[in-house]
Amino acid sequence: MPTIMDVAARAAVSMKTVSRVLNNEPHVRPAVRQRVELAVRELGYRPNLAARQLAGTRSFIIAYPFNNPSPNYITDILMGAAEFCRDHGYHLVSEPVDLNPDAKTVIQRMLRTLKPDGVILTPPLCDTPRIIEQFEQSGVPVVRIAGGRELYGRSIILDERAVSRQMVEHLVSLGHQRIGFIHPHPEHILAQARYLGYLDGLAVAGIEPRNELVRQGLFDLASGVAAGEELLSLPMPPTAIFAANDDMALGVLQVAHRRGLSVPGDVAIAGFDDSPSSSIAWPPLTTVRQPVRKLGCVAARMLIEEDFETPDLSCALIIRESTASKID
């Protein structure tokens, strides 16, 4: 197994220089850094985490506590963050945290045990003050993905309102006037912009919003099924339904199939997130693609490279067969 001395010899530098490169410390000439990184790759060197912790004040651990009903979202964030951490000598540790009275104790134990160099938070944890306060009091850096409140830490925010308006405009262009909407989870603050985008799209088309066409969702399949049953049972049901995430849209799709309705002939269905299941559903689901995996990567990079500026990240409309045809 190669050692740090082997890396230093291969790169023709001192062991201290190798250590500085591995720890992402500043003031290392780019050419020297590249030489050391090449030697690390060629030798397959893997630094010992415990030794690195003893050598300095960092733990080389990024924590990702989560609480989110969408497993696809959690996994994509985790994979993006883990990939960047692995490539830069860090470890990502994830743990579910329930929003109950014990949450504070769980967070305190995590901080005490892991001593993370940074924390990645996603909704709803990133908008829960009593959770954020624990990290603020400890002084650990935090990156909040899709945080909708002014709280401690740096934030990554996408414009979900504009792309939601585009979704409604797409449905209107197909001839839909009665467009239903299923709300985001109420604890996901930034996601409420999807409803504002829905209203914007109706306003652009001169369509009056109707309360009977709107239902509350919880970002899971079950709430999508419940909302779909209610909307499709109306005396004048919507001809299109825009759900604020794919899991809920798939719940509506399940209801439509069970009732023998044609999609998109009888009802067009659209979601948000572009989860893996959206493309393999039948018919494939029109949705909004968020760069979720990239969000995880960027969040980890913001914690590891302190001077890294957040890049411009955007959502994109993905048109598939669930809304493909015009109505009469």
Upstream peptide bond of 124 is cis (omega within 30 degrees of 0): yes
With a CB cutoff of 8 Å and minimum separation 6, the contacts of 128 are 99, 187
146-186 residue pLDDT tens = 888 888 999 898 899 999 999 999 999 999 999 999 999 99
Domain covering 61-158+293-304, topology: Rossmann fold (3.40.50)
At 326 the pLDDT is 67
Answer CATH for 160-290+316-323 from 2.40.30.10, 3.40.50.2300, 3.40.50.11540, 3.40.50.300: 3.40.50.2300
Domain 4-50 has CATH 1.20.950.20: no
| Contact call for residues 120 and 296 (beta carbons, < 8 A) | yes
Report the b/e string of 8-37 with b at 16+ CB within 10 A: bebbebeeebbbbbbbbeeebeeebbebbe
| Contact call for residues 144 and 177 (beta carbons, < 8 A) | no
Task: Return the sign of the alpha-carbon dihedral for residues 45, 308, 72, 127.
Answer: positive
At 43 the pLDDT is 87
| DSSP H/E element including 66 | strand 61-66
Do 61-158+293-304 and 160-290+316-323 fold alike per CATH? yes
| Contact call for residues 140 and 119 (beta carbons, < 8 A) | yes
At 54 the pLDDT is 46
Low-confidence ranges of the chain (pLDDT < 70): 1, 46-57, 326-328
Of 24, 28, 212, 233, the closest CA to residue 117 belongs to: 24
At 328 the pLDDT is 60
Domain ranges of the chain: 4-50, 61-158+293-304, 160-290+316-323
pTM to 2 decimal places: 0.74
Q: Considering just the CA atoms, what is the radius of gyration of the chain in Å?
A: 24
Q: How far is CA 20 from CA 7, 13, 166, 240, in A?
A: 13, 11, 48, 57
